[in-house]
Amino acid sequence: MKSNLVKPRPAKPDLSGLSRVLPQIQTLIEASRQHVVSTANLTLVWLYWNVGRVIAEDIQQHPGRADYGDQLLARLATRLSEQYGKGYSISNLWDMRRFFEAFYIPQPVAVDFQPEPIPQPVAVKSFKRPIRQPLTGKSGSIQILQPVAGELSDRITIAFSKHHRLGWTHYRILLSVEVGLKRGFYFEQAAQQRWSKRELQRQIDRALFERVALSPDTKALIRIEKQRGPVETVRYEDVFKDPYLLDFLGLKGAYSEKDLEAAIIANLQQFLTELGSDFCFVARQFAMRIDDDDYWLDLLFYHRRLRCLVAIDLKIGSFAAADKGQMDLYLAWLKKHDCRGGENEPIGLLLCTSNKKQHVELLLSHGPHKMQVSEYLTQLPSKSLLADQLKIYSRMLVDEDRAS
């Protein structure tokens, strides 16, 4: 006979501790992963610097054989690629040699660090592990050999405790930057501001160094930098620089707008590099007929990511109210007669020798069209002036971070 008694359900286990334990474990896992990634990055930096050292020292012993280095790299690339993969191609080995010659890792150095403190709610020992000497078998951290004689004065010193967030790709990007103040500035800012490799490249493309060195209002520049959105956000304000450096045009003394335009066309490739990525040249002296009047736009470009035409007008002298009216006319014509389906409305860029801040703010705060006024320079100021301005910027940036 079956019993009518209902069997009591087993009590649910008390898992209230999950909310306490899970976050602690997740924090440990994430911190451990970060430690592994950072250690791997530094190990790679250390390895490539030393590979470059060995190559540079050997080539230096053969000064009379100009083609020796090329032959050595070609043979090394073949043997190393067969054994260790694509990371040891001729171009990569060449970059490693350049890396050694451009940067300096002091002796002795230990690839031994812990980037972020790991919360330890229970008795857990720190897992800092120095990377051991792979060849000698001796205990202790890796020892870096001294560089070859004749160390370059512009060499940048790497301190792993300070620069541990910079990986090999950061350094490859920095190798493309001009030696001296400029490279040192981006190196320190990348470490201090924790820039990703994409952000480092973006700041170089936006000429942050030149804008800092030449900005009359450092506080305003820092405020703008702090307010900028993510890298993926494409705004026309972020596409244009201020100022533009056109020192490669070779213009000296008095010159006209026609001279400036002709020099830009003659050096179009370098001008496009200064403008930044995604600019495509369309036309010079682009003709527009309005009523019975003919107008000629100096330069017309197309920007791929903004998906719009960019009208550039060159001015010898300071920005004036009439310049804004003329650009409004150009943009209105382009919007009506030359925009294609799917394109955004055209944008204007006025390049002047002085942009007169108050005029720009008042005139550009209202209007039917998007435009930017930027200064251009045909030569850089003295190196000492640049250095002083960069120091002021770095100091103010640190103060701003502390305040926030």
Closest CA to 237 of 325, 297, 306, 333: 306
Residues 6+ away with beta carbon under 8 Å from 361: none
Residues 6+ away with beta carbon under 8 Å from 231: 196, 198, 199, 202
Q: Which helix (DSSP H) or strand (DSSP E) does residue 109 occupy?
A: none
CB of 361 within 8 A of CB of 183?
Answer: no
What's the rounded Cα separation, in Å, for the pair 66 and 141? 37
**pLDDT score recorded for residue 3:** 56
> Residue 382: is it exposed, middle or buried by C-beta count within 10 angstroms (0-12/13-18/19+)?
exposed
Which residue type does 15 have?
L
Question: Considering all CA atoms of the chain, what is the largest pairwise distance in Å, rounded to the nearest integer?
Answer: 115
- Model's pTM, two decimal places? 0.50
Residue ranges per domain, the chain? 21-164, 247-377
What SS3 string covers 20-43? HHHHHHHHHHHHHHHHHHHHHHHH
Q: Which helix (DSSP H) or strand (DSSP E) does residue 333 occupy?
A: helix 321-337
Going from the C-alpha of 104 to that of each of 53, 56, 153, 338, the distances in angstroms are 10, 13, 11, 54
CB of 210 within 8 A of CB of 246?
Answer: no
In degrees and rounded to multiples of 5, residue 205 shows phi and psi of: -65, -30
**pLDDT score recorded for residue 98:** 93
Per-residue pLDDT of the chain (404 residues; tens, 9 = 90+): 555 665 666 666 655 666 777 777 778 777 777 666 667 778 888 889 999 999 988 888 886 666 788 888 889 999 888 888 888 899 999 999 999 999 998 865 545 444 444 444 333 333 343 433 333 333 334 344 444 434 445 789 998 878 888 889 899 999 988 888 889 889 988 888 888 888 888 888 777 787 776 655 556 555 655 555 444 335 556 566 666 666 666 666 666 777 777 777 777 667 776 777 678 888 888 999 998 889 999 889 998 888 899 999 888 778 888 889 999 999 999 999 998 888 899 999 888 877 777 777 788 877 788 888 887 766 655 666 666 666 666 666 666 666 65
- How many CB atoms are closer than 10 A to CB 393? 23
Going from the C-alpha of 215 to that of each of 94, 201, 226, 269, the distances in angstroms are 36, 21, 16, 26
Q: How many residues does the chain have?
A: 404
Could you give the strand order of the β-sheet that contains 308-314, starting from the edge strand earlier in sequence?
244-245, 370-377, 347-352, 308-314, 293-303, 279-290
**Both tokens assigned to 377:** 């320079």
> Residue 220: is it exposed, middle or buried by C-beta count within 10 angstroms (0-12/13-18/19+)?
exposed
**pLDDT score recorded for residue 311:** 92
> Residue 330: is it exposed, middle or buried by C-beta count within 10 angstroms (0-12/13-18/19+)?
buried
Interstrand relation of 308-314 and 347-352 (parallel, antiparallel or unpaired)? parallel
CATH of domain 247-377: 3.40.1350.10
Helix, strand, or coil (residue 270): helix
Closest CA to 80 of 71, 67, 93: 93
Q: Which helix (DSSP H) or strand (DSSP E) does residue 308 occupy?
A: strand 308-314
**pLDDT score recorded for residue 331:** 94
Going from the C-alpha of 350 to that of each of 11, 203, 234, 298, 314, the distances in angstroms are 76, 22, 20, 10, 6
